[in-house]
Amino acid sequence: MVNRLAVWLFLILLLTGCSFLPTNIVNEINLIQGVGYDLAGKNNIKGTVVFPIIKKGSSYSEVKTAFGQSSKEIRTKLSNETRFRLVSGQLRLTLYGKTLAKQGINDFVDTLNRDPSIGSLIQLAIVDGDTNELLKMKKYKEENISIYLQEMLDQNMEYGRLPRTDLQTFLLQLFQIGQDPYLPLIKKVDHNIQITGMAIFNYDQYVTSISLEELFIFKALLDQNRNGLNRFILKNGDKVVLETLNSNTKYKVKIVNGRPEYIIHLKMKTKLQEFAPSKKKRQAFDKKKYQKQVEHKLEKNALKMINQFKNHQVDPLGFGAKYKEHYRGFNEKQWKKFYPNVKVRVIANVDIRQTGIVD
Amino acid sequence: MKIKNGDKENSSASKHCWIERLSKSNDFVHEHTSLRENEPFWLSYYRTLISSDILHKDVLPFLQDRLSLEELKSKIPVQEIILSNDAEEIIQSIMNGSIAIQIHQLDEDCLLINIANSKFRDVSMPMLESSALGPQVGFIEELDTNINLIRKRLPVPELLVHEMKVGALSKTRVAVIYMDGIADPENVNTVIQRINDIQYDHIQDSSYISSMIEDNSNSLFPQSISTERTDRVAAGLTEGKIIIAVDGSPNLVILPVTLMESFIAMEDYSYSWIIGNFFRLLRLLSVFISGMVTPMYVAIMTYHYELIPARLLETLVGSRATVPFPPFLEALFLELMIEMVKEAGIRLPFKIGQSLGVVGGIVIGQAVVEAGLTSNVLLILVGLGTLASYTSPIYKFSNTIRFLKFPTIFLAQWFGLFGVFLTFQFIQVHLLRLTSLGRPYISQYPIRTTSFQDLWVRLPFSMQKENPKNLRPQKKRKSTGTGKNPEPMNDFYE
């Protein structure tokens, strides 16, 4: 009986030769690789998708735009004008317009989080301007703009000044109590796309941004500095360019009467890359003197940035989360009250290990 | 069976009817040496079975005188001479190449002189299990030569041969060979008993025997190793394995075996142990590649487009851009084509077969790709998979692996990666249940230390101390520990 059933089942499967599941044959679907969302009027969203049209030997990116209330509604509308079904399993990049980000992007990130076919390592970025315009750039028609941007961001996170962000980190920061997310900010400048800084959020709403120059210290405070290059202009006008070989950041939390106090230890091992004294006169590099000056400069910059965050009531460095780790009686409302006046001290320790073969 | 019953009736009815029975065939010779019929001698034999050379040189000269059969027996310089009056025995030995000598035509007593013509091919290189290094001697179709080859490698009286005849029609000689004192007697008894129980009239090859005495004859996996290498057989014997040699088959059967032994080539022992291990593990890896690569392609191209790396996407999708079939049909088509090329290559006459190898298949494949019927990525994968399947030193095993690809492709089409995983699990469960001569086929679990001396990996000889435990050998260690090897005999100058 069971055997006969098995034989029938086998025959049915064999004869149909097909599957119970909906298939996604790679050349019969349109693989969305990049999407962008812009605000278009009140409660109306302009969605842009980029998918490659791959032919034997040649391929180009196709960009489609539609208006709607939600991301899936936009998808449905877009399907009306594509040859194959649109699928999002190959998504690599999602962009949000700055104006949209100011209203909050939670609704759009939520759908990325829910869809199991979307990986958690995709890049998210905020566009200073119109995402549709950026994705439509003629220059990148042949070059697959989604992969281009993804790799540009990846490259800068790995070797440049950008701290590591992707869907994974964004969601962690979004859902973690006592921390706010941050995303890279990109902009179309003439015929190029540039990274201009870091967008800082309050929960899911864009609040402020930090410039490219400040990113060095931001990345250091996040304990992510691996190989950044930074120029310091010291008090007397001397220029020192240091490359970080190894850095280590430790947060010490002290609870005083239920209120937290922070001491940030910034330890850096660096390599002197460039030294230009203001007096235009050849002089030996006084290591100890410049170490002190650079440390002082770092401490000042770090405090300046932290104060800026406090003023905007945003916490991308996760002071709240660290407070929560150390204090059982953590209360989010209370913490919000404490935050603008919280005591933070930065102690930098810069060690210039290599000065080159000149001295 | 019918014939056998007929035998018995006939022999009981008349002692002489064997001449009548045999003379129905035209190549049977029944003549007498003198002019008058009532004088000796009467000769009966099959012209096609005997060596006429020996007949004329060694037998006929003695038949000039009127000697009795006993006198003849002591005079004729042939080794195997029996005096018999049993019709059944007479028929049997005439069938095996003896001549029967009677003094009078109606005498019951016969002198049976074995002058069988044993012309077989010479001992040659193993055809299927060739190797670059190591001994290049393969077994041939003759049982006695094969046993001789084994005895040369293991010249000890502990090497025992138990001979049997199987098959009412073929009366094939089957020899069970084992090392007394090493092989588990239980295994030996099981093999002998199972061979005795065979009810089949003709045995043409050792594979008949091995598939008849297998524990699970429905399994795709060979539960015994068929080999034509003398070194593999000798090594197996010393570990306590049992060999079945069948007359007329150049392949000897080794029992009991485990799955891992299908990955062991005797060449592993010719290299340094590190290099030997590298190749052994490479074979293990290539079996996985062979079985998985095409089904994975089908699964990923049909269902799991998410898994494709972004940089690979253009290559994969681009190669499939003009293919009109779904990946499943495409893969099935190419796999079947490669199998056909392989099958035709074996069946074709030697000279034609040479020009049409797997390489020929790739050429056809290239044409198929250019015609846009399949993607070139798949062609590479199928080629790789087929190549990988040939790395297993056991021919039957590599066939199994190539066959298993097909159900996996079907399941990959129905359920995607889950289907691939399902087949993998199914095979795993099947293998865990499988036994070879009552011993677990995957005896690697639970893990034993002996498995790491010479199974998964091969350690240097100094560290291979124990015989594999799964065979339950009576001799536990590989070295008997006498300490000293026998001095070489060198009496030439004395």
- What confidence score (pLDDT) does residue B431 get? 92
pLDDT above 50 (res B9): no
pLDDT-based confidence at residue B4 (cuts at 50, 70, 90): very low
What's the CA gap between B140 and B143, in Å, rounded? Answer: 8
pLDDT for B37 equals 67
| A19:B318 CB<8 A | no
Q: Which residue has the higher pLDDT, B39 or B332?
A: B332
For chain A, domains (ranges, CATH) are 19-211 (no CATH), 213-359 (3.30.300.210)
Half-sphere exposure of B99 (CA within 13 A, CB side): 27
CA nearest neighbour of A257 among A316, A347, A343, A332: A343
Evaluate whether B126 touches B135 at the Cβ level (below 8 Å). no
User: Can you point out the beta strands (E) in chain A?
Assistant: 29-31, 34-39, 45-55, 58-68, 85-87, 93-97, 123-128, 182-189, 192-202, 205-211, 229-233, 239-256, 259-276, 343-354
CB contact under 8 A, B413 and A17: yes
Distance between CA A56 and CA B447 in Å, rounded? Answer: 51
> What span, in angstroms and rounded, lies between the C-alpha atoms of A167 and A175?
12
What would the pLDDT profile of A157-182 be if each residue is shown by its tens digit? 988 888 999 999 999 999 999 899 99
Determine the pLDDT at residue A359: 60
Nearest CA in chain B to A15: B410
**Tens digit of pLDDT for each residue in A271-316?**
888 888 777 677 777 888 888 888 998 899 999 999 999 999 999 9
Burial class (CB in 10 A: 0-12, 13-18, 19+), B413: buried
Nearest to B298 by CA among B399, B402, B414, B421: B414
Give residue for tokens 């203001």: A278
Q: Is the pLDDT of residue A207 over 90?
A: yes
Q: Which pLDDT does position A49 carry in this prediction? A: 93
Closest alpha carbon within chain B to A31: B305
Test B302 with A90 for CB contact under 8 angstroms: no
Phi and psi of B243, rounded to 5°?
A: -110, 135
> Looking at CA atoms only, how far is residue B307 from chain A in angstroms?
8
Handedness of CA B21, B25, B26, B32 (dihedral sign): negative
Mean pLDDT of A25-36: 91
B362 Cβ partners below 8 Å, 6+ apart? Answer: B379, B383
Instruction: Provide, as residue numbers in chain A, all residues whose Cβ is less than 8 Å from the Cβ of B297.
Output: none
Share of chain B above pLDDT 90, in %: 33
Q: Running DSSP on this structure, what letter comes out for residue A197?
A: E
For residue B3, the model assigns a pLDDT of 43
Query: Residue B8: which pLDDT band, with cuts at 50, 70 and 90?
Result: very low
**CA A106/CA B245 separation, integer angstroms:** 75
- Asked whether the predicted pLDDT for residue A48 surpasses 90, the reply is yes
What pLDDT is stored for residue A225 in this prediction? 67
Q: Is the pLDDT of residue B13 over 50?
A: no
Greater confidence, A34 or B490?
A34
Amino acid B353: pLDDT: 65
Chain A positions in Cβ-Cβ contact with residue B416 (cut-off 8 Å): 19, 21
Q: Which helix (H) or strand (E) segment is B290 a member of?
A: helix B273-302
pLDDT at A238: 81
pLDDT at B482: 62
The interface predicted TM-score (ipTM) is 0.83
| Distance, CA of B475 to CA of B162 (rounded, Å) | 20
DSSP code string of A239-296: EEEEEEEEEEEEEEEEEETTEEEEEEEEEEEEEEEEEE-TT-S-----HHHHHHHHHH
In this structure, what are the phi and psi dihedrals at residue B42, rounded to the nearest 5 degrees?
Answer: -105, 130
If one compares B117 and A316, the residue with the highest pLDDT of the two is: A316
CB atoms within 10 A of CB B437: 23
CB atoms within 10 A of CB A252: 13
Using a CB–CB cutoff of 8 Å, tell me whether A21 touches chain B. yes
What is the model's pLDDT at position B210? 92
Tell me how far apart the alpha carbons of residues B178 and B245 are, in angstroms, rounded to a whole number: 11
Please indicate whether, in this complex, the C-beta atoms of A59 and B302 are within 8 angstroms of each other.
no
User: Which among A25, A55, A87 has CB closest to B302?
Assistant: A25
* Mean pLDDT of the A8-13 span: 73
- Distance (Å) from the C-alpha of residue B317 to the closest C-alpha of chain A? 6
State residue A1's pLDDT score.
65
pLDDT at B452: 80
Lowest-confidence segment of A172-186, A312-326, B61-75 by average pLDDT: B61-75
| Chain A nearest-CA residue for B316 | A26
For the ranges A27-41, A280-294, B131-145, the lowest mean pLDDT is seen at A280-294
Residue A216: the pLDDT is: 85
Question: Which of B297, B307, B314 best tests the A interface by mutation, with the highest count of A CBs <10 A?
Answer: B314
Q: How confident is the model at residue B345 (pLDDT cuts 50, 70, 90)?
A: confident
The larger pLDDT score, comparing residue B477 to residue B396, is at B396
Q: Is the pLDDT of residue B385 over 60?
A: yes
CA distance A307 to chain B (A): 41
Does the pLDDT value for residue A40 go beyond 70?
A: yes
Q: Which residues of B touch A (CB under 8 A)?
A: 301-306, 308, 310-311, 313-314, 316-323, 326-328, 410, 413-416
Whether the upstream peptide bond of residue B309 has omega within 30° of 0, thus cis, is: no
Q: Which residue has the higher pLDDT, A217 or A199?
A: A199
Residue B105 has pLDDT above 80, yes or no: no
Residue reference for tokens 């028609």: A141
Residue B82: strand, helix, or coil: strand
Give yes or no for A24 touching B (CB within 8 A). yes
User: What pLDDT score does B443 carry?
Assistant: 72
Minimal CA separation from B359 to chain A, in Å: 26
Residues of B in contact with A118 (CB under 8 A): 306
Pick from A13, A25, A55: CB nearest B327: A25
Report the pLDDT value the prediction gives residue B6, as an integer from 0 to 100.
Answer: 43
Mutate to test the interface with A, among B317, B323, B423 (most CBs of A within 10 A): B317
Question: Which pLDDT value is given to residue B491?
Answer: 60
Taking only the tens place, the pLDDT of each residue in A83-115 is 999 998 999 999 999 999 999 999 889 888 888
* Start-to-end C-alpha separation, chain B: 63
pLDDT digits (tens, 9 = 90+) for B424-458: 999 999 999 999 888 888 876 677 777 788 888 88
Contact across the interface for B415 and A21, Cβ inside 8 Å: yes
pLDDT tens digits, residue range B236-258?
999 889 999 999 999 999 988 98
Give residue B10's pLDDT.
44
- Residue among B316, B318, B326 minimizing CB distance to A55: B318
* Least Cα separation, residue A165 to chain B (angstroms): 19
Nearest CA in chain A to B298: A25
Residue at token pair 């603008």 = A340
Residue A99: its pLDDT value, please? 93
Predicted confidence (pLDDT) at residue A184 exceeds the cutoff of 60: yes
Does the beta carbon of A26 lie under 8 angstroms from any beta carbon of chain B?
yes
- Place B110 in a pLDDT band, splitting at 50, 70 and 90: confident
Question: CB A17 to CB B328 under 8 A?
Answer: yes
The CA radius of gyration of chain B, in Å to the nearest whole number, is 29
**Does residue B137 surpass a pLDDT of 80?**
yes
Q: Which of B321, B327, B328 sits opposite A54 (nearest CB)?
A: B321
**Structure confidence at residue A17 as a pLDDT band (50, 70, 90):** low
B490 pLDDT exceeds 70? no
Per the model's pLDDT, the better-predicted residue between A332 and A226 turns out to be: A332
Strand order in the sheet with B225-227: B159-166, B172-179, B242-246, B252-255, B225-227
Both tokens assigned to B298: 């089908």
The nearest CA of chain B is from the CA of A4 a distance in Å of 18
A76 and chain B in contact, CB less than 8 A: no
Say which amino acid occupies B205: D
Q: Does A3 touch chain B (CB under 8 A)?
A: no
Q: Do B306 and A117 touch (CB under 8 A)?
A: yes
Determine, for residues A14 and B410 on separate chains, whether the beta-carbon distance falls below 8 Å: yes
Cα separation of B171 and B168, whole Å? 6
Q: pLDDT band for position A16 (50/70/90)?
A: low
**Arithmetic mean of pLDDT, B202-207:** 92
Q: Report the pLDDT value the prediction gives residue A284, as an integer from 0 to 100.
A: 76
Is pLDDT at B82 greater than 80 in this prediction? yes
